[in-house]
Amino acid sequence: MSMQEKPIRVLYSFPHKLGADRICYTAWQQVNGLSAAGADILACPGVLHRPVPASVRVWPTLSWGKLRISYKVVGTMRALAMHDHIVARRLEKLKNQIDIVHTWPDAALETLRTAARLGIPTVLERPNAHTRYAYESVNAECRQLGVPLPVGHEYEYNTVKLSKEEAEYRETFRLLCPSDFVVKTFLDEGFVSEKLVRHQYGFDGTTYRCDRKTSPTSGLTMLFAGVCAVRKGLHYALEAWLQSPASREGTFLIAGDFLDAYRDKLASELAHPSIRVLGYRTDVPELMRTSDLFVLPSIEEGSALVTSEARGSGCVLLVSDAAGAVCKHMENALVHRVGDVAALTRHITMLHEDRALLERLRESSLSTIGEITWDVAGRRLLEVYRMVITSKQKTLGTTSQTTARL
């Protein structure tokens, strides 16, 4: 049976709570999509937080029945190291039962080295840009705004964490990049293109769906949803909105928790009568269904899931080229360069003044949302696995031939 016919046997190593929030949700959806695509998956999460398909074998590393190791008590980085060590030891006994190993940052180094010694290809997920770029860009933006990051914040410059992640970058066979922006940050750091492979994330079409029929004739509703942090560029969105005539008739909804210093910095803009600060919300799908535009002028991202969710809900995207959104400028969205407030202002104004353009972009976006679901992402990732396995086999073959000649 050829590799195209037989199920690919995947060891999926995820050190956190599979199925919880943020990257835990991303990883859970990847496992579901891979399973639907026909992969044979052995999932090794730190903890299984949400059920996965029955075909997925689950072997947690930091939990046994109801007993769990507390990430807070032992320390997150120590817990991640424990996970990595356990997965590496398990892999030793699975040499001929695994075709590829999928790892996640900060808990992969020992597993990657073990897999390399055993000749098993590996991929390392990159849910964000190169960490050095992320640290430098976010900290520079914070300094410019005069908004300090809290001690221990995930984007506070951490040389130990950076060193570990850069070691993982070197050790993995391929880096999984969910957007062209992520690829660029690695190319800029000197990585060769062959090491970087593109895949994509998706959205849940049962939760995020479009019910509206036409665009509004009165004021527009623009939505921002997510953590209200400097890296998300909310300050750029506020500046552009208030400079646009759209703010005279429309409403800008902001859903998400604020960093206190950031909220204080933006207090005067947030007090504008066209702006509604909603705080943390659990009804984001409904907010999206009742909004016309979704704005995300991020400084640094991997590939923000919320942009695909907004597309599925019928919003027209207004995003920076660092948001990692699956979209095309003037085809199904409007994209601006990071920090280009003038361009973002023009884009908001264009859609405020030209409702026919708004409708064309929305219809074009909705016509292709079937290409960005989690099932499609799972099939694409499985094809990436096949390419990586083939590439590894060629590499091993070349090495063997070279050794033989020597």
Cα–Cα distance for residue pair 142/135, rounded to 1 Å? 11
* pLDDT tens, residue by residue, 246-263: 999 999 999 999 999 999
**pLDDT at res. 403:** 39
CA angle centred on 197, ends 196 and 199, rounded to 5°: 140
**pLDDT at res. 1:** 43
Cα–Cα distance for residue pair 85/329, rounded to 1 Å? 44
| Whether residue 172 has pLDDT greater than 90 | yes
| Whether residue 302 has pLDDT greater than 60 | yes
Q: 111 in helix, strand or coil? A: helix
* pLDDT tens, residue by residue, 334-343: 999 999 999 9
H or E stretch at 58: strand 57-58
Place of tokens 């026919």: 356
Q: Give the confidence band of 398 by pLDDT, cuts at 50, 70, 90.
A: low
Q: Give the confidence band of 370 by pLDDT, cuts at 50, 70, 90.
A: very high
**What distance lies between CA 79 and its chain's CA centroid?**
22
Cα–Cα distance for residue pair 202/208, rounded to 1 Å? 11
Place of tokens 């919880």: 20
**pLDDT at res. 293:** 98
H helices, E strands: number in the chain = 16, 15
**All domains of the chain in start order, with CATH:** 9-202+374-405 (3.40.50.2000), 221-371 (3.40.50.2000)
- Among 178, 177, 176, 174, which residue's Cα sits nearest to residue 202? 178
Cα–Cα distance for residue pair 30/202, rounded to 1 Å? 9
- Among 195, 132, 142, 124, which residue's Cα sits nearest to residue 162? 132
Q: Which residues face 275 on adjacent strands?
A: 252
**pLDDT at res. 212:** 75
DSSP letter assigned to residue 253: E
| Whether residue 406 has pLDDT greater than 70 | no
Cα–Cα distance for residue pair 83/13, rounded to 1 Å? 9
| Whether residue 402 has pLDDT greater than 50 | no
Q: Give the confidence band of 396 by pLDDT, cuts at 50, 70, 90.
A: confident
Q: 8 in helix, strand or coil? A: coil
**pLDDT at res. 216:** 67
* pLDDT tens, residue by residue, 99-129: 999 999 999 999 999 999 999 999 999 999 9
**Amino acid symbol at 356:** A
- Side by side, the strands of the sheet bearing 174-177 are 57-58, 40-48, 9-18, 100-103, 122-125, 174-177, 196-198
CA angle centred on 238, ends 26 and 285, rounded to 5°: 35
**pLDDT at res. 392:** 96
Q: Is 309 or 64 the better-scoring residue by pLDDT?
A: 309
Across 273-298, average pLDDT? 97
Cα–Cα distance for residue pair 317/223, rounded to 1 Å? 10
**pLDDT at res. 351:** 97
| Whether residue 405 has pLDDT greater than 70 | no
**pLDDT at res. 222:** 98
* pLDDT tens, residue by residue, 198-223: 999 999 999 999 987 666 678 999 99
**pLDDT at res. 65:** 84
